[in-house]
Amino acid sequence: AAIAHDLSGAIDSGTFVIDTNGKAMGGAGAPAFASNWTDAPAANGLVGLEMFRGRAPEKRGEVVFDAVTAQRSGYSIGDTVRVIVNGDQVLEPELVGIADFAEGGSFNGATWLAFDTPTSQKLYLDGRDAFTDAWVTARPGVTQEQLLTEVVAALPEGYTAETGDVAAEESASGLLQAVSFLTT
C-alpha cells in the first residue's frame, strides 16, 4: 500500500480564549481557531505544530494553546483557562501543553487551541465520530498522484480527494482572496 500512516483527521472551529484580564482574544480582528490535537505529519515533509512544553490533551477538561496565544493570554501550563465555544458556552479546561512551529512560523495574530479528538467531536460535531477533513501520508518514494489513485479507490461514494499540492494551492488562494482588500 502507498499509505504510510493511518488516516489522520481534523476538526476545526472558532473558539475564543478569554485572557487573564477577562477579555476575549481575537474576533474583532485576527480569527480564533480551535481544533483537535493531532501529531500527524504535515504535507511535503514540513513539520507542523509540535509540543513545545507540557503534553497533548488526553481527555475532556484539557487544552493546548499555541505559544503566542499562551503568552498573550497570560496563562501558564497548569492554569485553568476560560474559553468561549459556539458563541455562548464557557469552558474552563486546564492548559496542559503549549505547541509551536518547530521550523518557525506563526498564526499571524490569530489564536489557536486544541482539545483531544473526542472532546472536539462533542463540541463541534454534535458528538459524531467524524472529521471536517482528513489526510493520509505516502510511504517514501510514492508520488502524490499514486497516493491519490489509491485513496480515491478506497473512498466511499460522495467523498472526494485531492493531492497535498492542490489542497495547499486552494488554501493559499482562499487566503489571498480573504486579504485582497489590502494594498501595497
Report pLDDT digits (tens) over 126-158: 888 888 877 788 888 888 889 889 988 988 888
Q: Report the pLDDT value the prediction gives residue 20, as an integer from 0 to 100.
A: 94
- Cα separations (Å) of 94 from 19, 54, 98, 112? 14, 12, 12, 15
Asked if residue 27 has pLDDT above 60, the reply is no
Q: Report the pLDDT value the prediction gives residue 4, as an integer from 0 to 100.
A: 47
**Between 144 and 43, where is the model more confident?**
144
Question: Which helix (H) or strand (E) covers residue 122, if one does?
Answer: helix 117-124
pLDDT class of 29 with cuts at 50, 70, 90: low
Q: What angle do CA 115, 120, 124 make, to 5 degrees?
A: 140
Residues β-bridged to residue 84: 16, 90
- pTM score: 0.78
pLDDT class of 64 with cuts at 50, 70, 90: very high
Q: Report the pLDDT value the prediction gives residue 42, as an integer from 0 to 100.
A: 66
Q: Report the pLDDT value the prediction gives residue 82, as an integer from 0 to 100.
A: 96
Contacts of 41 (CB under 8 A, 6+ apart): 5, 47, 48, 137
Closest CA to 38 of 114, 105, 125, 107: 114
Question: Exposed/middle/buried for 73, CB within 10 Å: 0-12, 13-18, 19+?
Answer: buried
The helix/strand count (H/E) of the chain reads as: 4, 11
Distance (Å, rounded) from C-alpha 153 to C-alpha 156?
8
Average pLDDT, integer, range 97-112: 78
Asked if residue 2 has pLDDT above 80, the reply is no
* Contact call for residues 111 and 16 (beta carbons, < 8 A): yes
Q: Report the pLDDT value the prediction gives residue 12, as an integer from 0 to 100.
A: 58
* Contact call for residues 2 and 148 (beta carbons, < 8 A): no
Question: In 40-116, where does DSSP find H-type helix?
Answer: 67-73
Q: For cell 499571524, what's the residue?
A: 108
Q: Report the pLDDT value the prediction gives residue 110, as an integer from 0 to 100.
A: 79
